[in-house]
């Protein structure tokens, strides 16, 4: 993406100090999402990043990963698979407990969501410490897909979230702070 377009998107992301707890600087992407041109540019860049790689499923992390993840799946002609908090998916699931910046949580995915023929993009809006996405990666990996890509719109580099993934995992971020 052109540097000036990337800067426009970055400038639309709002900083919220002490949210959700004191000491956290929250990067609020909703201010970027409400700008039609910026939202279109982000979705277009995501599509360009994965076009031609044979992606068959996009896995979006609840809840902000659903927004661009669903658009990406549509643009690639792939299926969309949600990763959700417990009790939100109606069929048989597998789940993973993980640590995050300010506590622990659990996510789950339908047991039959991914198969060995799938090429998967795992998508979420932001990489901080990586706990949520690393848990999602482990869930998807346990289903033995052909390939897994990990994607974020924003990465908070100082929090070293990439270290949550094994060596060799393809992790891509559009904007790095």
Domain boundaries, given as residue ranges, for the chain: 54-176
Q: In whole angstroms, give the CA distance from residue 71 to residue 47.
A: 9
Does the annotation count 116 as an active-site position?
no
- Whether the pLDDT of residue 102 is over 70: the answer is no
- Among candidate residues 44, 62, 101, 138, the one labeled active-site is 101
74, 118, 105, 99 alpha-carbon torsion, rounded to 10°: -120
pLDDT in tens, 19-28: 988 988 999 9
pLDDT at 24: 86
- Among candidate residues 44, 64, 162, 172, the one labeled active-site is 64
Q: In whole angstroms, give the CA distance from residue 96 to residue 101.
A: 16
pLDDT in tens, 34-77: 999 999 999 999 999 999 999 999 999 999 999 999 999 999 99
Its pTM stands at: 0.94
Q: How many residues does the chain have?
A: 177
User: For residue 151, what are the contacts with CB-CB under 8 A and spacing of at least 6?
Assistant: 46, 49, 50, 121, 122, 123, 124, 171, 172, 173
| CATH code given to domain 54-176 | 3.40.50.2020
Does the annotation count 4 as an active-site position?
no
């Amino acid at each position: 993406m052109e540097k000036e377009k990337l800067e426009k998107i970055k400038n639309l992301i709002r900083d919220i100090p002490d949210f959700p707890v004191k000491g956290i600087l929250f990067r609020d992407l909703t201010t970027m999402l409400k700008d039609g041109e910026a939202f279109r540019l982000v979705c277009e860049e995501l599509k360009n990043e994965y076009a031609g790689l044979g992606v068959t499923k996009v896995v979006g992390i609840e809840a902000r990963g659903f927004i661009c993840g669903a658009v990406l799946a549509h643009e690639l002609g792939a299926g969309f698979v949600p990763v959700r908090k417990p009790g939100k998916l109606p069929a048989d699931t597998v789940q993973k407990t993980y640590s995050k910046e300010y506590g622990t949580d659990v996510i789950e995915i339908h047991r039959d969501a991914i198969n060995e023929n799938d090429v998967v993009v795992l998508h979420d809006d932001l990489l901080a410490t990586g706990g949520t996405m690393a848990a999602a990666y482990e869930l998807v990996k346990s289903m033995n897909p052909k390939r897994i890509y990990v994607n974020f719109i924003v990465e908070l580099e100082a929090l070293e979230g990439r270290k949550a993934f094994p060596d060799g995992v393809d992790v891509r971020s559009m904007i790095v702070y």
